[in-house]
Amino acid sequence: MNNNIKGYVSFILHAHLPFVHHPESDDYLEEEWLFEAISETYIPLLINFKKLEEEKVDFRITMSLTPPLLSMLDSKLLQRKYINYLKKHIELCKKEVKRTIYDSRLNELSKYYLNRYSNDLHLFKDVYECNLINAFKHFQDIGVLEIITCGATHGYFPILYLNEKTVRAQIAVGVQTYEKYFGKKPRGIWLPECGYIPEADKYLKEFGIEYVITESHGILYANPTPIYGTYAPIVSPEGVIAFGRDIESSRQVWSSINGYPGDFNYREFYRDIGYDADYDYIKPYIAHDGVRVNTGIKYYRITGKTEYKDYYNIQWAHDSAEKQAGHFFDSRQKQIENLSNYMDTPPIILCPYDAELYGHWWYEGPYWLYILFKKIYYDNCNYKLITPSEYIDKFPNMQISTPCRSSWGANGYSRVWLNETNDYVHRHLHVAGDRMVELAHLFPNEKKKIKKQALNQCARELLLAQSSDWLFIITNGTMVDYAKKRIKEHIGRFTKLYNQIKNDEIDETFLKEISQKDKIFPDIDYMIYY
Amino acid sequence: MPKDTSENEKKQTKKPVKSKNKSNSVKDLNKENVTKKTTKTAKTTKKSTTKTSSKSKKEDISNKLNTKKTTSNKLKKKNTKDTKTSKSKKFQIIEYYDLPYSYNQTTVKILYQTPTTLFVYWDISEEDRKNYIEKYGDEFFYNSKPVLIIHNLTYQTNFEVEINDFANSWYLKMAEPNCKYEIELGRRITNLDQKFNSNKEYNKKAETVYYNQYILVANSNDIYMPNDHILLENIKPGTKIQFKNVKTHEITTKEYGTFMFMPDIYKLFRFYKEVYKDEIMEDTNKTLLSNPSSSSFFM
């Protein structure tokens, strides 16, 4: 600890998954995205935050918990399914402990997984009482975590904004969902995919949002050019504050060439017993249709650029994480020391990442954060951790400038969500958006219960169709069928309801069924499209 | 499988080139095939003009396969489910949806893909088609070609691109980022041949047209293309910048020149650009950790 503070570092973890909720079947593998993220990212983060709290380490971190993620964490059905997922994993781990008896190193690892999943079950049921939202909220309440919101369903603003009301609704529902779970208004928002457009500023202001996070060039290419680059926030003419991602620190973690997660001692993501084990043996634990998938039980370390993989060694992995935490710690010191020569105000180094990078992709990531935060607190250091809100409160004087239209996708603009593989979708999103606004104007403040329910369900279907995730998955080329099916379903359900509402012949059975399937935003009011 | 028939719009498949077009018989064919076929043609055309769709053909084939697979999987799923659990009794409606090929609305919409690539999609309603034929004669769509006129509203310039009637969207390369654009969809008369004239004789109401005449169909929304560089050129001696205290709303003005350190900061960014060139400029979405897109979970 040191009083000679010359700058600040701000970690932002963006926790998001698309809404996947299938009460009609147990066969949807896609629901496991959530379960994997809980076991590999959310619970490990919570465990490490708790350790820091118990060790009285004063740290700061910011997380966006998106509305679809909150809705899924709050779903009783998905909570039950997660418990089943854990029980299944525990059963498999027990078999693994027996199976691997011939090799002591492997056997140790299988016991480690058994212990880990058993602990997850205990924590989830007994400690968190199935409520991970409250578990995160606790850290916000004690002042170390700032939770921010996101667009309602992660709709990508630069595509939706042709009808600005659809952007307004994404923001409105994002803010409402946040208030429902955290009992206050969010100060910041993670723009879906960091998709910044100046047209959204007035709606962000309308719903009380103070700041957004942008990709580096959102600030660097801003107009007029910000004098401090990404090292200080700017404020748009409409009054929205924008923080830009620091290039140096984010590349240290993300780089595909020499990023931290590629350390040879770290766990190899692509060697999973779901693929490696005997088919008949693993069959009960993979996809229902017999397709091999990841189980999360992985015994190897990256080892090197080789097919031959050595067993994972937890101690070695921890050693690497500690070494890298030290490297990151030192790099920020140098960076801030250097910047302080140039700046007349303390710089902020903004480090935004996908939360799921930590733990899911980079298994040791949560531990790395824990070590880093401890170092920053205890070691002699020229900077402190801070949240964007605290920085605003401390240094409210900032340059007026309009951020550049930008996103954090490859190439920095809209290509990931608009290219030859997925451009057929956009007309449907736009038409549905226009029709939703039309419905709100045709039937404002509807009194009839069924019709009102139908109108609200229309709003839900539209929002779900707008998730940027479907477009991303199509571009990326994995699980494409599922993403395309979801777009068709939500547009299809929306259109069917739209016609039924206009013809005044609402099929109540249909409405009831899709309301059960697409059970999100129970308190939505379609009048946000008015 | 009962199809959702409420979507009448589906049936309005586009048939712009009336006399020559094979798609007159297309109506009887499976709708999905029509859609696929049209899209495919459109994409191939695009490739030759804009060089943007390298994978499109492969993609189309795999799309087709995927669609089939999904459908059959879905069938299987529904069947097993219905016999499997009592829980599924809650869900009895079998749903099957396809995206309509057209919404039967005349529309032109533009979006930016990159600071220099613009995406445009369009559609013409049946009613408007009929109106054009009434006004300009039966052969109107045969004797005219669709064009896009791209207006750069910032520099007050424009240029025209000929498109074709098999496409319903296009990618356009723009020379100027950071400008405001609008696009017109229109038609240019390209053919005043025998057929056209004879048509005029029995269609007295038709207006006279002349060669190369331009007829506007619809205007798009306008958009600003993103900026793609640091706007250092805007900083001249004496350029003023404003600061705002977001708590007190007090505004102060200073000159760029007073911030002597600024060039150093931006030197740093140019340095980064050089160092991380390979990763930042990467033209792919699939490199595992170099693309921190927020859906990286699925990669």
Residue-range domain boundaries for chain A: 7-74+131-267+312-411, 418-529
pLDDT by residue (tens digit) across A141-157? 999 999 999 999 999 99
Across the interface, of A341, A396, A427, the residue whose CB is closest to B247 is: A396
pLDDT by residue (tens digit) across A101-110? 999 999 999 9
Reported confidence tier of residue B271, pLDDT bands at 50, 70, 90 = low
SS3 A348: strand
In the predicted model, what is the mean pLDDT of residues A321-349?
Answer: 93
Chain A residues in contact with B296 (beta carbon < 8 A): 354, 356-357, 361
Domain A7-74+131-267+312-411: CATH superfamily, name plus number: Glycoside hydrolase 38, N terminal domain (3.20.110.10)
Strands A145-150 and A188-190 turn out to be parallel
pLDDT for B66 equals 39
pLDDT for A39 equals 98
Tell me: pLDDT of B48 over 70.
no
Tell me: pLDDT of B244 over 80.
yes
pLDDT for B235 equals 79
pLDDT for B46 equals 39
Q: Do A224 and B239 touch (CB under 8 A)?
A: yes
pLDDT for B89 equals 64
Chain A residue with the nearest C-alpha to that of B122 = A427
Q: Do B70 and A481 touch (CB under 8 A)?
A: yes
pLDDT for B78 equals 39
pLDDT for A168 equals 98
Chain A 73-102, residues with CB within 8 Å of chain B CB atoms: none
In the predicted model, what is the mean pLDDT of residues A244-249?
Answer: 92
Q: Do A25 and B115 touch (CB under 8 A)?
A: no
- The per-residue pLDDT of chain A, averaged, comes to 96
Bond into B146 cis (ω within 30): no
Chain B residues in contact with A220 (beta carbon < 8 A): 230, 269
pLDDT for A415 equals 96
B27 vs B36: CA distance, rounded Å: 14
A7-74+131-267+312-411 shares its CATH topology with A418-529: no
Q: Do B99 and A488 touch (CB under 8 A)?
A: yes
Tell me: pLDDT of A353 over 90.
yes
Phi-psi region of A56 (alpha: psi -120 to 50; beta: other; left: phi over 0): left
Nearest CA-CA distance, residue A273 and chain B, Å = 19
* Beta strand spans in A245-367 (E): 348-354
Count Cα atoms within 13 angstroms, Cβ side, for A293: 18
Reported confidence tier of residue B209, pLDDT bands at 50, 70, 90 = confident
Reported confidence tier of residue B73, pLDDT bands at 50, 70, 90 = very low
Reported confidence tier of residue B274, pLDDT bands at 50, 70, 90 = low
In contact, A157 and A192? CB cutoff 8 Å: yes
Across the interface, of A210, A424, A492, the residue whose CB is closest to B97 is: A492
Tell me which amino acid residue B120 is: V
* Buried/exposed B259-278: b ≥16 CB within 10 Å, e otherwise: beebeebbebbeebbeebee
Angle at A344 between CA A343 and CA A348, to 5 degrees: 60
Report ipTM for this prediction.
0.94
pLDDT for A275 equals 95
In chain A, the percentage of residues whose pLDDT exceeds 90 is: 93
pLDDT by residue (tens digit) across B195-204? 555 555 555 5
Q: Which of A473, A192, A130, A468 is nearest to A354 (CA)?
A: A192
Q: Do A223 and B119 touch (CB under 8 A)?
A: no
In three-state form (DSSP H/G/I as H, E/B as E, the rest C), the secondary structure along A162-181 is CCHHHHHHHHHHHHHHHHHH
Q: Do A257 and B81 touch (CB under 8 A)?
A: no
Chain B residues in contact with A23 (beta carbon < 8 A): 87, 90-91
pLDDT by residue (tens digit) across A277-287? 999 999 999 99
pLDDT by residue (tens digit) across B76-110? 443 433 334 445 567 888 899 999 999 999 999 99
Across the interface, of B66, B90, B169, the residue whose CB is closest to A516 is: B90
Which CATH number is associated with domain A418-529? 1.20.1430.10
Tell me: pLDDT of B237 over 80.
no
Q: Do A427 and B121 touch (CB under 8 A)?
A: yes
- Mutation to test the B interface, candidates A212, A421, A435, A509, most B Cβ within 10 Å: A421
pLDDT for B55 equals 36
Tell me: pLDDT of A241 over 70.
yes
- A/B interface, count of CB pairs below 8 Å: 277
First to last CA, chain A: 53
Q: Do B95 and A493 touch (CB under 8 A)?
A: yes
CB atoms within 10 A of CB B162: 11
In contact, A375 and A325? CB cutoff 8 Å: yes
Task: Give the domains, in start order, of chain B with CATH numbers.
Answer: 8-90 (no CATH), 107-224 (2.60.40.10), 232-288 (no CATH)
Chain B residue with the nearest C-alpha to that of A216 = B269
Angle at A212 between CA A207 and CA A213, to 5 degrees: 160
pLDDT for A201 equals 98
Query: What is the per-residue DSSP string for chain B?
Result: ----TT-GGGG-----STTT-GGGTGGGS-HHHHHHHHHHHHHHHHHHHH---SSHHHHHHHHHHHHHHHHHHHHHHHHHHHHH-SGGGG----------S--S--EEEEEEEETTEEEEEEE--HHHHHHHHHHH-TTHHHHEEEEEEEEETTTTEEEEEE--TT-SEEEEE-S-SS-EEEEEEEEEE----HHHHHHHHH-TTSPP--TT-EEEEEEEEEEEPPP-S--GGG--TT-EEEEEETTT--EEEEEGGG-TTHHHHHHHHHHHHHHTHHHHS---S--TTT---TTGGG-
* Beta strand spans in A16-60 (E): none
In contact, A261 and A250? CB cutoff 8 Å: no
pLDDT by residue (tens digit) across A178-199? 999 999 999 999 999 999 999 9
pLDDT by residue (tens digit) across A471-496? 999 999 989 999 999 999 999 999 99
Chain A 144-203, residues with CB within 8 Å of chain B CB atoms: 154, 158-159, 162, 192-194
Q: Which of A9-23, B42-56, B208-222 has the lowest mean pLDDT?
A: B42-56
Nearest CA-CA distance, residue B142 and chain A, Å = 26
| A302, A481, A486, B32 from A492: Cα distances, Å | 44, 16, 9, 15
pLDDT by residue (tens digit) across A376-427? 999 999 999 999 999 999 999 999 999 999 999 988 999 999 999 999 999 9
pLDDT for B13 equals 35
- Neighbouring-strand partners of residue A362: A358
Q: Is A43 within 8 Å of chain B by CB?
A: no
Q: Do B7 and A495 touch (CB under 8 A)?
A: yes
| A133, A500, B17, B101, B224 from A242: Cα distances, Å | 27, 43, 50, 40, 20
- The per-residue pLDDT of chain B, averaged, comes to 69
